[in-house]
Structure formats: C-alpha cells, structure tokens
Structure 1
Amino acid sequence: MAVLGRQAILQAVDDGLIAITPFNADHVGPASVDLTLGSMFRVFRKVHEVIEVCDHTDYRECTDKLEIPDGGHILIMPGGNRAEDHPRTGQARARPLRLA
C-alpha cells in the first residue's frame, strides 16, 4: 500500500479511481483529503465493561449525541482527544473524546 501525494490524488479523481461527492480540489492537501461530514455524531461513552454488539444492541444506551452548531468545527486528535472551537473566544481547546 502506498500514500498518494496531492497530484496523484487529483489524477485519481480525474480518472474516476477515487470518487468524492461533492469534490473540492481546495480540500486536497499534500497527501490527504479533508472531508466535510454532517453536523450530528454519536460518540461512545467511556465505560469499563464490554459492549456486546448484536442485532438487539441499542447504540443509544452506550453513546451520546454530539451536535456541532453551524459554522462550528470538531477535530479528532490522536490519543482520543477532541479539540473544539471555544464559543466565546474562538480559541481551540482540547477535550477528551469519549470512546469505549
């Protein structure tokens, strides 16, 4: 497996080998593509037990809904932290991302 650089990503999109809808070339970095997702997420609560995943498992029992306001951002940091824009100062602050 190889990491594609910016030009290779753009060429692969042009050739139809990579499909991103909607595609914005301005979101292609040196070796990455920034994606825009919806504004509502579910994050796992930090628990000290095994969550059995089967047909009858209700994800709402072990997750919290997280809604990002219009114009807001969320950044998933390595190590399970989340950095969000502080609502009053606009400065980023790190908060733990609750994962199982």
Structure 2
Amino acid sequence: MAVLAKSEITKMIKSGDLNITPFELSQIGAGSIDLHLGDEFRIFRSHKGIIDVSEAIEHGSISELVKAGKSGIILKPGQFINGITKESIKLPKNISGRIEGRSRFARVGLLVHVSSGFVQPGSDGRVVLEIANLSKVKLRLIPGIKICQIILEEVKGSGGYSGNYLHQQHP
C-alpha cells in the first residue's frame, strides 16, 4: 500500500474517482486532506448500570444527538463524545483512508479518534470522530475548524464497504 501524494489526490478529485463534499483544493496537503468538524455531536448520558460491549450495542439508547451552535460545544476533562466531519467522502473501491488528528490539538490533550481511524475502501458518507479530552481543562470545539486529516492509501486488489455505517450522515 502506498500513501497518495497531493498530485495523485488532485487527479482523483478532478476525474471524479474521489468525491468530497463540501471541498476546496486548498484542503489538500502534501500527503493528506484536511477535514473540518461538523456541527452534530453524540453526547453520552450518565449511566449507573453496566453496558455490555457487544455487537448488539445501541448507541442511541445511551446518548443524545446534539447540534452545536456557532459558540461550539464544551468538552470537559475526561469527557468522551462522538463528532462527525463536515465533509462527506466517497472513496473508490481501491482506496482506503486513515484519519489522523492534528498535532496542535493533541498537544492540549484532544484526541480526535480514539480507535477507529480506518476508513474502508468504497466508503461513502461522513466520518464519525471519537473525541476525548485527556487534559485537565475544558476545551471548546467549534464547528468548521480543521479538526483532522485523512491519509489515502492504495489498496491492492479491490474492496468495497457494505457495512452498517455506509452512507452515514450523523454521529
């Protein structure tokens, strides 16, 4: 697998093989594409019982979908929430993606994706971000900021994602 450089990413976007909406060419870096934070978040409710971690877990029953205003959302120390990218991304079946946080935010204790940073080949939708505040201070998340980047890699052979989160639009 090889990481796609700016020239290859630009070529794929112009040919329509890679689709990102909304998008500006200035989002493309040397080997990645900047993605922005959307305005929807999934906030987990306090729960005194035990939640079984299984394939049957239902996130909606333990969380609330919240739309943030222009002033953003406050993430308390130790708090975990789901966010989502502003952009919807449609990858071809021979390209996968890897979400990486930005160093400037990691240095203040913000994790942008806790564990599932892999975007399957053929995925089509917005990327859910598992966001955690590891610092000892409150952090304000403002919709529209460049929150992360996606690194695109060529997949040997042809895959195609058809899982539960295909066409996802909400965290």
Structure 1 vs Structure 2 CA RMSD:
3.7
- Please tell me whether the aligned partners of residues 72 and 141 of structure 2 are also in contact (alpha carbons under 8 angstroms): no
Query: Given the superposition, is the C-alpha separation of residues 65 and 84 from structure 1 closer, same or farther in structure 2, using an over 3 Å criterion?
Result: farther
Instruction: Tell me the distance in 1 between the aligned counterparts of 2:141 and 2:35.
Output: 22
Matched, 1:85 2:140: yes
Work out the percentage of aligned pairs sharing the same amino acid: 25
Aligned partner of 2:19 in structure 1 is 19
SS in 1 for 2:10: helix
* TM norm structure 2: 0.36
Alpha-carbon shift at residue 20 of structure 1 (Å): 0.9
Contact 2:4 2:31 in 1 (8 A): yes
Are the structure 2 counterparts of residues 85 and 23 from structure 1 closer, same or farther at C-alpha, using a change threshold of 3 Å? same
- Structure 2: segments with no counterpart, 5+ residues: 74-82, 84-104, 115-130, 143-171
* Distance in structure 2 (CA, Å) of the matches to 1:26 and 1:71: 25
Match of 1:41 in 2: 41
Any unmatched runs of 5+ in structure 1? 88-100
Match of 1:6 in 2: 6
Q: Deviations over 1:30-70 (max 9, x none)?
A: 2221223531121556985324527xx4x332224344332
- 1:68 matched to 2:68? The reply is yes
Q: 1:81 to 1:70 in 2, by over 3 A?
A: same
Task: Select the structure with the greater relative contact order (CA < 8 A; seq sep ≥ 6).
Answer: 2
Q: How many residues align?
A: 84
The letter for the 2-side match of 1:14 is: K
> What SS does the aligned partner of 1:11 have?
helix
Q: TM-score, normalised by structure 1?
A: 0.54
Q: Which has the higher strand share?
A: 2
